[in-house]
């Protein structure tokens, strides 16, 4: 049987691409993340990492506290002024839209390279509480990982 060339991306490829586009709006100097929440293949919310409304962001100030202190990626988030992309997307969607939804997360670093974009523990807990059913995130190699948040319950998140 001959394999036919696909003319369009599948839904996960499509929405992870949109999450990459959303990440370009981020205001972080280290990494820019974008998140897209969908339900029944319809976008119900987007978010990118950046300072809360009314607060100057790192681009405006021209510095990153965590970068200045040489804090490794994934550590000491309490020193960061940004709200994560996933959190921003979640707060923009309604409870009904979140229940059973899918969230797509993608990021790029300061060299414009794709990042491994697994959500942090705090964002995982928000996804569990919001009843998001599927999480798709960039693996850093132009592919993605599909995760079932319910499996996070088997280990302490």
Measure the CA–CA gap between 78 and 122, rounded to whole angstroms.
11
72 contacts 47 by C-beta, under 8 angstroms: no
Query: Who's near 56: CB < 8 A, 6+ residues apart?
Result: none
3-state SS track over 105-131: EEEEECCCCEEECCCCHHHHHHHHHHC
Q: Which of 13, 78, 86, 97 is catalytic?
A: 86
Query: Which of helix, strand or coil describes residue 79?
Result: helix
86 classed as catalytic: yes
Active-site residues, by number, are: 86
């Amino acid at each position: 049987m001959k394999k036919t060339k696909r003319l369009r991306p599948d839904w996960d490829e499509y929405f992870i691409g949109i999450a990459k586009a959303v990440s370009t709006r981020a205001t972080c100097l280290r990494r820019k993340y974008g998140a897209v929440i969908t339900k029944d293949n319809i976008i119900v919310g987007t978010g990118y990492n950046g300072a809360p409304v009314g607060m100057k962001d790192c681009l405006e100030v021209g510095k990153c506290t965590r970068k200045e202190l040489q804090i490794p990626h994934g550590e000491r988030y309490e020193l960061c002024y940004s709200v994560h992309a996933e959190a921003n997307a979640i707060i923009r969607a309604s409870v009904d839209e979140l229940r059973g939804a899918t969230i797509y997360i993608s990021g790029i670093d300061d060299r414009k390279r794709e990042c491994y974009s697994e959500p942090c523990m705090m964002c995982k807990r928000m996804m569990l509480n919001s009843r998001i059913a599927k999480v798709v995130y960039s693996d850093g190699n132009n592919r993605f990982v599909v995760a079932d948040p319910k499996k996070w319950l088997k280990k302490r998140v």
